[in-house]
Structure 1
Amino acid sequence: MRPHKKMNQQISTAASKKGAITRSKNAANTSKSEGKESELPKRKAEGSPPNDKTLKRSAFGDITNARESNITSQDVKKLSKKIIVKKADPKGNEKANMKVTVTVPNKSTAIQPVLKTHTTLKKFPVSTKPKVVRQKNEEVSTKSGTSQVLEKEIKEDISVISEQQEINLSSKDNSGNSSLYVSALDDTQNDGSNSHDEPQMLEFPILEQAPSPKASICKSSTTARLPEGVEDFDKETLNDPFQVSLYAMDIFNYLKEREVLFIVKNYMVRQPSISQWMRSLLVDWMVEVQESFELNHETLYLAVKLVDLYLDKIVVGKETLQLIGAAAMFIASKFDERIPPLVEDFLYICDGAYTHSELIKMETNLLKVVDFNLGIPLSYRFLRRYARCAKLSLSTLTLARYILESSLLEYSFVSESSSKMAAAALLLALKTKLLGGWTPTLQYYSGYKLEDIGHLAHQLNAMLHKKPKTALTTVRNKYSHKIFFEVAKIPLLENLDL
């Protein structure tokens, strides 16, 4: 015998003793079982639970932090089973058989994730008690004894079916692909879920049509009926996100409510060192600063308001009056401007009358006096809102601005409401340019009737008729420029007829 054949026989004998299958035996077995599928055990992870207790879980996992709260209708149908329960006859006869359909919720049902949609989710209670559906033309006794017997028998049958269904479902899931690796298995068996006898709150996503943004218009514009002759300006600008049409009416109503927090009283009686004329000189200088630095008009109006609020509470000397104005302009610039001027710029505009530390100290004191509350309603913003709602031209709005800015120099208007001053200035501009009077649209959006602002319009007209003083010409020269339509040169009304 050849050496290699002898060696093969030895290897075959040793392999047969150890129970191993050689290639020759494997070929023989394959020929014998030809036509039949070979059933080899599939691999499974070592740390996985047994097949009879393996549960499949959803791909997303428990992303809703909910337990057993999303049972689909298909799962309920799978768990639905018909059983036969004996029914007691009301007349005391022998018990008849009745087919009863009992729905058994399965604790091992995989939790389906509820994804967020643009629609709302409604919650409603769903009872997991077994539902008994009777066939037609059959009655069940309502006696207490009979109902207790039925309830006890149904509970026993439910417990048996529930256990059987859990085993069947788990084995069915694993039989399809027993090599599926199950890791991070959620413990859905003992998580404190409700029993079969207690109702359970389930959450189901209810698809509803999302409301259109055009349908949800602000209350003051469309939900509430507008007076006759009033145009809905906010509705017309609803598609422009920069107009904030949904909230514009509420914003200005809120600003009007805040006006009571910034009322300035007659503080000149408590200021022995300064006078109304000195205040007018200060405001005229602040207008010049606003023009020199090309600041916003809101910055000027806020600074003047801060000066009045400070003088209403603190007694000052005339040597610090300009320092208060400079600090107010500095604060307003940082509050409203994108690129506010530097401290050195204000020191330069004051011609070196104050030092760096003095300006910073006055800024700190002013902020403490106003309690850092800089969200002050300004007449300039009210005026712009009223003119836009009435769809007035820019030249008419500029004339109203000239009237309103001139009123900043007059101490007699310090105690007046900012929104009311804006309405009176706009009324005088309309009368001056012969564009009519106070329309229903202006009355609606401003909240003021003609009799509420008529006296202020007369006072403003009288102010414009005063002989201009050489020391207070900044506002007039400003609005005599072509950029501002030369509105300061428009002839004034001799007699204002409202």
Structure 2
Amino acid sequence: MFNMAPKKTALKKSLGETTMLKRSVSTRAKKNSDVKLVDESSKRKAVSPLKQLSKRSAFGDITNDADLSKKITTNKKDSKKNVETISHVVKKNLKESENGNKAVMPHKKTGRSNIPTFPPKVQMAKANIKPEKVHPSSVSKPTCDKTEVLTSVRVKSPDSTDNELYLTAVEELGSSSKKLTTKDEERKKEPLPPPGVEDFDAENMGDPVQVSEYAMDIFSYLKEREAKFVIDNYMERQTSINTAMRALLVDWLVEIQENFELNHETLYLAVKLTDIYLSKVTVSKETLQLVGAAAIFIASKYDERMAPMLEEMLYVCDGAYDKKELIRMEINILNKVGFELGIPLSYRFLRRYARCSKVTLPVLTLARYILELSLMEYTFVSESDSKLAAAALLLALKMKEISGWTKTLQYYSGYSLEEIKDLVFKLNDMLKMKPKEALSTVRNKYSHKIFFEVAKEPVLAEVNL
């Protein structure tokens, strides 16, 4: 059984201490009852009581449902009968229309006619016209091209005279249509990469999935859009939450992403939507988890092929909110972000840089680990996503003792070593911090063999750039 929900969460509050969220974020206390802490040792994967959840395939398990198969077979038989009935009525109407009689199509339930009658003047071609027998030797081959043959076809209007003819759409194009040029001639001539830079897009020009013709333009456009989503130091305006509570919320979102098997882009978009909303609205600590849940729900609908259900999102919140509250928060977030969901994400930039520089998968995974850890650190909220991705990749290269910032990386990222080195130092300082027990989801995730155990990679004492 695939367990969809992360563990229960609770609030932790004590006198003289800053209000903090327990492991993976808080849930609101039930009315007239105290909030109980959850023992970390009793971590479990919850099973939704709403339904027996299982791992879903792309098209569902239709063939194994016997009752559904019977219904489909029955529907096919019924539809076949309906087609035969309609065909019989249509044939009858056509015969009556040839004789000038009124054709009627009976209504399915009431028997009333709801189909207009055929005009008496419309005659079926095969009813009155008998084709003449023509000897094959008397037929000459056409001398015109395909365009001229198509344009010679005329369609006669039912209500028109012999002199009024409709023209086909092909005739409007004319026989002298412009010949298509080659693919290289159609493409806009772009400047070649400077010497020493590998032309990654040219190498993959034959692969349509890579969209190499537009890759540079796409990522240049994403970098331009970053200025529209700059997040300021909003914690100064928040009175009920702090950076530690935000870190716990992000840790909880990572756990949801892992349990629901969502794309990493969904996680990054959810964190971005949360930060944008918090930068514009002051929220209470009881509402913080609702903001995160609605954000990842929106991101799932935007980026996933099969997004989680509303009931599943309510279940992972441990019953802290109801359906109306989650839907209302969805509406609020979308209004505050102006329904702009095409936000540039550091994860997308990282994949682009890694592919262009042809780094190995363990190096890319290490850079992803660094980047995912930075999601929980509030100090990186205001940083540019493209620059943060470049710095994470450079730090991963240094940790793996691979060559540093090459000309290829500088060309495709648009950043020089001087522009990103300060950010590399900050990321390395983040790795050197003592791990917090309450924020262990990312480290546990990347300690698995599937992710090459990159979380166990030794941290650099100093980064030599």
Structure 1 CA distance for aligned equivalents of residues 459 and 284 of structure 2: 38
Pairing of 1:100-119 with structure 2 (within 5 A): none
Q: CA deviation at 1:212?
A: 2.1
**Residue in 2 that maps onto 1:254:** 221
1:457 and 2:428 matched: no
1:318 and 2:318 matched: no
Tell me: CA distance 1:330–1:113, structure 2 relative to 1, closer, same or farther (3 Å): same
The runs of at least 4 aligned residues of structure 1 exceeding 6 Å deviation read 112-115
Structure 1 CA distance for aligned equivalents of residues 220 and 307 of structure 2: 29
**Residue in 2 that maps onto 1:406:** 373
Structure 1 CA distance for aligned equivalents of residues 379 and 310 of structure 2: 32
Residues 222-243 of structure 1, C-alpha deviations (whole Å, 9 max, x = no match): x313111101100111111111
Structure 2 CA distance for aligned equivalents of residues 404 and 284 of structure 1: 13
Q: CA deviation at 1:204?
A: 8.0
Instruction: Tell me how large the CA RMSD over aligned residues is.
Output: 2.5
Which of 175, 191, 203 aligns to 1:224? It is 191
Taking structure 1 as the reference length, the TM-score comes to: 0.59
Q: CA deviation at 1:185?
A: 7.0
One-letter amino acid matched to 1:417: S
SS of 2:295 mapped into structure 1 = helix
One-letter amino acid matched to 2:183: P
Q: CA deviation at 1:493?
A: 1.1
Structure 1 CA distance for aligned equivalents of residues 202 and 343 of structure 2: 27
Structure 2 CA distance for aligned equivalents of residues 216 and 459 of structure 1: 45
Structure 1 CA distance for aligned equivalents of residues 178 and 338 of structure 2: 50
One-letter amino acid matched to 1:319: E
Which of 468, 472, 475 aligns to 2:442? It is 475
One-letter amino acid matched to 1:409: M
1:212 and 2:182 matched: yes
Q: CA deviation at 1:346?
A: 1.0
SS of 1:245 mapped into structure 2 = coil
Tell me: CA distance 1:293–1:207, structure 2 relative to 1, closer, same or farther (3 Å): closer
**Residue in 2 that maps onto 1:365:** 332
Residues 146-204 of structure 1, C-alpha deviations (whole Å, 9 max, x = no match): xxxxxxxxxxxxxxxxxxxxxxxxxxxxxxxxxxxx953779xxxxxxxxxxxxxxx88
Taking structure 2 as the reference length, the TM-score comes to: 0.63
Which of 239, 244, 249 aligns to 1:277? It is 244
Residues 233-279 of structure 1, C-alpha deviations (whole Å, 9 max, x = no match): 00111111111110011000000010111010000000011100000
Structure 1 CA distance for aligned equivalents of residues 187 and 376 of structure 2: 41
Tell me: CA distance 1:185–1:284, structure 2 relative to 1, closer, same or farther (3 Å): closer
Residues 25-75 of structure 1, C-alpha deviations (whole Å, 9 max, x = no match): xxxxxxxxxxxxxxxxxxxxxxxxxxxxxxxxxx9xxxx9xxxxxxxxxxx
One-letter amino acid matched to 1:280: A
**Residue in 2 that maps onto 1:415:** 382
Structure 1 CA distance for aligned equivalents of residues 212 and 380 of structure 2: 31
Pairing of 1:230-309 with structure 2 (within 5 A): 230-309=197-276
Instruction: Note if contact 1:237-1:243 (Cα within 8 Å) is conserved in structure 2.
Output: yes
Which residues of structure 1 form unaligned runs of 5+?
A: 1-58, 65-111, 116-181, 188-202
Identity percentage of aligned residues: 63
Residues 289-340 of structure 1, C-alpha deviations (whole Å, 9 max, x = no match): 0001000000000000000000000011011000000000100000000110
1:427 and 2:394 matched: yes
SS of 1:471 mapped into structure 2 = helix
Structure 1 CA distance for aligned equivalents of residues 261 and 317 of structure 2: 17
Structure 2 CA distance for aligned equivalents of residues 420 and 232 of structure 1: 21
Structure 1 CA distance for aligned equivalents of residues 346 and 452 of structure 2: 21
Instruction: Note if contact 1:287-1:474 (Cα within 8 Å) is conserved in structure 2.
Output: yes
Tell me: CA distance 1:186–1:313, structure 2 relative to 1, closer, same or farther (3 Å): closer
Q: CA deviation at 1:205?
A: 2.7
Instruction: Note if contact 1:274-1:317 (Cα within 8 Å) is conserved in structure 2.
Output: yes
One-letter amino acid matched to 1:361: R
**Residue in 1 that maps onto 2:137:** none
One-letter amino acid matched to 2:341: L
One-letter amino acid matched to 2:288: L
Structure 1 CA distance for aligned equivalents of residues 238 and 323 of structure 2: 26
1:487 and 2:457 matched: no
SS of 1:184 mapped into structure 2 = coil
Which of 332, 337, 354 aligns to 2:304? It is 337
Instruction: Note if contact 1:304-1:408 (Cα within 8 Å) is conserved in structure 2.
Output: yes
Which residues of structure 2 form unaligned runs of 5+?
A: 1-141, 152-160, 167-173
Tell me: CA distance 1:247–1:274, structure 2 relative to 1, closer, same or farther (3 Å): same
SS of 2:182 mapped into structure 1 = coil
Which of 314, 325, 343 aligns to 1:347? It is 314
Instruction: Note if contact 1:386-1:446 (Cα within 8 Å) is conserved in structure 2.
Output: yes
**Residue in 2 that maps onto 1:184:** 163
Q: CA deviation at 1:207?
A: 6.4
Q: CA deviation at 1:386?
A: 0.4
Pairing of 1:63-102 with structure 2 (within 5 A): none
Structure 1 CA distance for aligned equivalents of residues 424 and 348 of structure 2: 18
**Residue in 1 that maps onto 2:411:** 444
One-letter amino acid matched to 2:436: K
Tell me: CA distance 1:114–1:409, structure 2 relative to 1, closer, same or farther (3 Å): same
Q: CA deviation at 1:113?
A: 8.1
Structure 2 CA distance for aligned equivalents of residues 446 and 383 of structure 1: 9
Q: CA deviation at 1:213?
A: 1.6
**Residue in 2 that maps onto 1:39:** none
Instruction: Note if contact 1:280-1:411 (Cα within 8 Å) is conserved in structure 2.
Output: yes
